[in-house]
Amino acid sequence: MVVASSPTPNRIEKINSFDVPIIDLSCKRSLVSELVVKASEEYGFFKVINHGISKDITDRMEEQGLNFFAKPALEKRQAAPPSPLGYGTKNIGFNGDVGEVEYLLLHTNTQSISQSSKSISNEPLSFHTQLKKKLHVFLFLEKNLDSCVVNDYIEAVRNLACEILELMTEGLHVHDNKCVFSDFIRDIDSDSLVRLNHYPPYKDIMDTSPSSQTNRIGFGEHSDPQILTILRSNDVGGLQILLEDGTWVPVPPDPIAFCVNVGDTLQVLTNGRFKSVIHRALANSVKPRMSIMYFAAPPLHACISPVPNTITPEKSSLYRPFTWSEFKKTAYSLRLGDTRLDLFKAQTDENFA
C-alpha cells in the first residue's frame, strides 16, 4: 500500500536572488564534468550554454507551441483528456492538484508505439485501450503540429541530455561504462516525454477568477520523477527552485541557455549524491509564459538502483531496487508535493529498532 508523506508544513517563504550555476559546455571537458557534478550535488539544477542546439530548432518548436495554445479551446480539447498523454488544463495529475496552466504532454518515441501496435491483437483489452489513446494523441500531433519540427527538437534535446549524463558519469568516475545513465534514454523503449506548459498572464487570471488573487501558483512545488529534465522557456519569468535552507530562488529566463534539473531517479542512481530539485512555476507576469520540458526517463521495465561505485563500506545503498514502472505508478498515485523517494528507501536494522 502506498502511503503519502505528510504535507509540507506551512512556512514563511523566503525568496532571494541567487546566481544559478551556468556551465559552458564548450570548455575543457574535465572542467565541465567537474562543474556539472558540483552543481548536481549542491543544487540539483544548473544552466548550460554553448550546448550545440541551434536557435532555429528552438524558435520553430516555440512557434509550434504558441500556435497550438492560441487555438480555440474546443479545437485543443480534441487531444484531451490527458491520460496522461494529451491536452489538459487546470488539473495537474489525478489527485487534486491544480494550477493556472494548460499543457500538452507527448511521448517522444513514435517508433516504440508503432512497434507495439503490431501486436495489439495479442494484448489485453486494457493495453488495447491505452494504445488507442496514445495513437490518437499522435494523430492529433500530426494534424496540429509540424511533426518534423517536434522530432528535430526531441532529437536535439535527447542528445544534449545524453551528453550531460555522460559528463556526470565521468565526474563520478564511473570508468567501466560512461553510458550507464544515457543508455536508459537511448533505449527504444525509453519512457521519455515532452511537455509544453502555457501559463496565462496573471492579470487575465485575476479578471476571470477573483478568488485566485491570493494564489498565483501556475504549477505547484514538486520534483520530477524522471532521470533528468531539460527545460526551456520564452522570455517570461516564473520558474523558481528551492534551496536546502528553504529559500525560493527565481530563475530568470535566458534566451541562449537550457535549464537542467536532476530528477528523483537520478538521485537514486547516484545513491543520493545528486539532489532531485524541488521547483515550481508562478503565474505572475503580464505576458503569457510557455515552457518546454524534455523528461528523460528509462524504459518501464528498467531496474533502478545506485550504480556500484556510489556504494562504499562507509555508505551503503540508500534505496532498494525498483523498476521505473513501479516508481512511476507510485508517483502518479501521490500529490505533487509528496515525497516519493522515502517510500523506496532501503530497509536497515534501524527500521526495525
317: CATH = 2.60.120.330
What letters, b where the CB count within 10 A reaches 16 and e where it falls short, cover 199-220?
Answer: bbbbeebeeeeeeeeeebbbbb
Q: Which three cell numbers stand for residue 271?
A: 545513491
- State phi, psi for 259 to the nearest 5 degrees: -90, 145
Q: Which of 135, 138, 133, 150 is nearest to 67 (CA)?
A: 150
- Is residue 281 within 8 Å of residue 219, measured between CB atoms? yes
Q: Domain tally for the chain? A: 1
Angle CA(277)–CA(102)–CA(133) in degrees, nearest 5? 95
Residue 353 lies in a domain: no
Per-residue pLDDT 10s for the chain (353 aa) are 344 444 444 555 676 667 899 999 999 999 999 999 999 999 999 999 999 999 999 999 999 999 999 999 888 887 766 677 788 998 888 888 999 999 998 888 766 444 433 433 344 444 344 445 555 555 565 566 777 888 899 999 999 999 999 999 999 999 888 999 999 999 999 999 999 999 988 665 444 444 444 447 899 999 999 999 999 999 888 999 999 999 999 999 898 999 999 999 999 999 999 999 999 999 865 788 999 999 999 999 999 999 988 998 889 999 999 999 999 999 999 999 999 999 999 975 444 34
pLDDT (0 to 100) of residue 211 = 42
pLDDT of residue 351: 47
pLDDT at 139: 56
Q: Is residue 131 part of a domain?
A: no
Residue 122, domain member (yes or no): no
Domain assignment of residue 241, given as a range: 22-59+159-339
Residue 124: inside a domain, yes or no?
no
Predicted local distance difference test score (pLDDT) of residue 122:
41
Asked whether 48 and 23 are in contact (CB, 8 A), the reply is: yes
- Which positions ≥6 away from 11 have C-beta within 8 Å? 246
3-state helix, strand, coil in the chain (%, to 5): 40, 25, 40
| pLDDT of res. 134 | 55
222 domain residue, yes or no? yes
120 lies in some domain: no
User: What's the CA gap between 89 and 97, in Å, rounded?
Assistant: 11
Residue 43 within a domain:
yes
What pLDDT, on the 0 to 100 scale, is given for residue 117? 36
| Polymer length of the chain | 353
Q: Which of 183, 232, 169 is CA-nearest to residue 36?
A: 169
* Domain-located, residue 210: yes
Q: What is the pLDDT of residue 12?
A: 59
Q: Which residues are catalytic?
A: 289
The structure's pTM equals 0.86
Assess contact for 180 and 61: CB atoms under 8 A.
no
CA dist., res. 118 & res. 101, Å (int): 36
